[in-house]
Amino acid sequence: MKSYHIKNKRFVTKVFEDVTEKYDLMNDLMSIGIHRFWKQEFINWLHPQKNTKLIDVASGTGDIAKLFLKKVDFKSHVYCVDENYEMLELNKKKLNMKSNIKWFCSNAEKLPFKNNYFDYYTISFGIRNIENISNALSEAYRVLKPGGRFLCLEFSKIKNETLNKIYKTYSKSIPIMGKLIVGKSEPYEYLINSIEQFYSQERFFKEINNHKFENVSFRNLSGGIVAIHSAWKI
């Protein structure tokens, strides 16, 4: 099976530039708020410890960073990485410029950090937007410490046929919603297409497993609308 690739990186960058201002609002509307539950379950499974370092890639407006810090009573450090400068600026405002958070405008395929540096690597609804996922997984492995954990939250494949039909029907309304709220439908047409084209849970499991990670596993949420993938650097 061919590797999944983003065909037009500049287009993807433009997509997120166009929706930055109303990114959080649209997430709430599109998922009917369920994305908050998914992200909380993600952090619960990570089960982070205090006095550790997290790299949150494709950090967006900072939801995962915020949940992580709450989980450890703000007694750890977070490095928020995103290619979109405007997203990082919103991220800073949302997290109130806390001293134990640092922000980096950088590409997931070439992270500006030394080897074996982080205890945790998270990426939430971002991996399918990366031009070369293989390179990003190699970088994730490189920057994690031995014993470090990789955790990815991403849209996936629904197993139940009835639920899948309902989901696909609902998905058709999302570009219309985007046009009404943001003024553009194209970013949300891209969203739906990228979800359709992305790996199945099993295929992405194999992709992670091919990059030296150990104890690779995944959990489906909401019937497989999204999945959490977990792996360790041993």
3 occurs within a structural domain: no
Q: What is the pTM of this model?
A: 0.93
Q: Rounded to an integer, what distance in angstroms lies between the CA atom of residue 65 and that of residue 57?
A: 10
2 occurs within a structural domain: no
226 occurs within a structural domain: yes
Distances (CA, A) of 104 to 17, 40, 148: 17, 24, 21
Q: What is the full per-residue pLDDT of the chain (234 aa) written as tens digits?
A: 345 555 456 667 677 777 787 888 999 999 999 999 999 999 999 999 999 999 999 999 999 999 999 999 999 999 999 999 999 999 998 888 678 999 999 999 999 999 999 999 999 999 999 999 999 999 999 999 999 999 999 999 999 999 999 999 999 999 999 999 999 999 899 999 999 999 999 999 999 999 999 999 999 999 999 999 999 999
190 occurs within a structural domain: yes
203 occurs within a structural domain: yes
CATH number, residue 210: 3.40.50.150
77 occurs within a structural domain: yes
Residue range 24-39, pLDDT digits in tens: 899 999 999 999 999 9
If we measure between CA atoms, which residue out of 125, 127, 85 comes closest to residue 103?
Answer: 85
23 occurs within a structural domain: yes
4 occurs within a structural domain: no
Q: What is the number of domains present in the chain?
A: 1
Query: What is the domain range of residue 82?
Result: 9-232
